[in-house]
Amino acid sequence: MTGNPYIFPGVRLQARLGQRLDERDWQRLSSIRDAQHLIDSLLQTPAVGWVRGLDGGSAAELAEQQLRLRLGEQTEEIARWYPRPWRAAIRWTRTLPWLDSLRRQQTAPGTGELLRLASTPLQSLTDAQDEAALKQLRETDFAPLLPALGAGENLYRAWYDHWLTRWPEPDRTLQRHLADVGRRLRRAHAAVSRGEQDPAAASLLLLRPLHQHVFTPVAPFAFLAIQALDLTGLRRLLVDRLLFTHGAAA
């Protein structure tokens, strides 16, 4: 008799939940304005793995690339814990932390948001910088989001719609639970992106379905959505401080 294949990964996800920044961490980190001080502080927290190797002199582009690389590694690790039919949908979550960056691009084109998402460094401050970055992004995980980006449509909705195409035909009950995670994810990420809540507070929306369905395919999406909230907050703090540092030095 085959056991439940979701028990082992569910237990591991529960263990990882304890390795997050809490509300006090976010409040303290948000008050730090200096990039080096911020990184030094992060090195003393559960977020150490995201920033190890960076310093106050690091380029914002390097920080973006490091965060994307490490998120990709972690997401792939978690995807491999689950049955193969679910892996494509799980891998799609690695784009979540950068919806905030794409949203900024919609409201303020030409500010360099797309340049930092490009897979290789691009010459900045040129008239065609956004066009050059878009050309590269068409060959990346972000490609399904680019039509919504160009049309000024809701990026969270576009993300969710593409996520649906990657589901391996779950039954109706599971579809309902997954859709609930999607709705909660959209609300939580919008709140963090707009600066209305810190990631620890916003993640409360997603902790409930994670705990309720930890031994089902719902769990990796709730967990990775929570991790994406943390990374959205982290990258905003880190990149903004690094950009300020380099701008002040210019």
For all residues of the chain together, what is the average pLDDT? 85
Confidence at residue 18, expressed as pLDDT on a 0 to 100 scale = 85
Confidence at residue 15, expressed as pLDDT on a 0 to 100 scale = 92
Confidence at residue 123, expressed as pLDDT on a 0 to 100 scale = 39
The pTM score is 0.86
HEC sequence for the chain:
CCCCCCHHHHHHHHHHHCCCCCHHHHHHHHCCCCHHHHHHHHCCCCCHHHHCCCCCCCCHHHHHHHHHHHHHHHHHHHHCCCCHHHHHHHHHHHHHHHHHHHHHHHHCCCCCHHHHHCCCCCCCCCCCHHHHHHHHHCCCCCHHHHHHHHHCCCHHHHHHHHHHHCCCCCCHHHHHHHHHHHHHHHHHHHHHHCCCCCHHHHCHHHHHHHHHCCCCCHHHHHHHHHHHHHHHHHHHHHHHHHHHHHHHHC
pLDDT band per the 50, 70, 90 thresholds, residue 125: very low
Confidence at residue 194, expressed as pLDDT on a 0 to 100 scale = 81
Q: Where are the domains of the chain?
A: 7-106+143-245
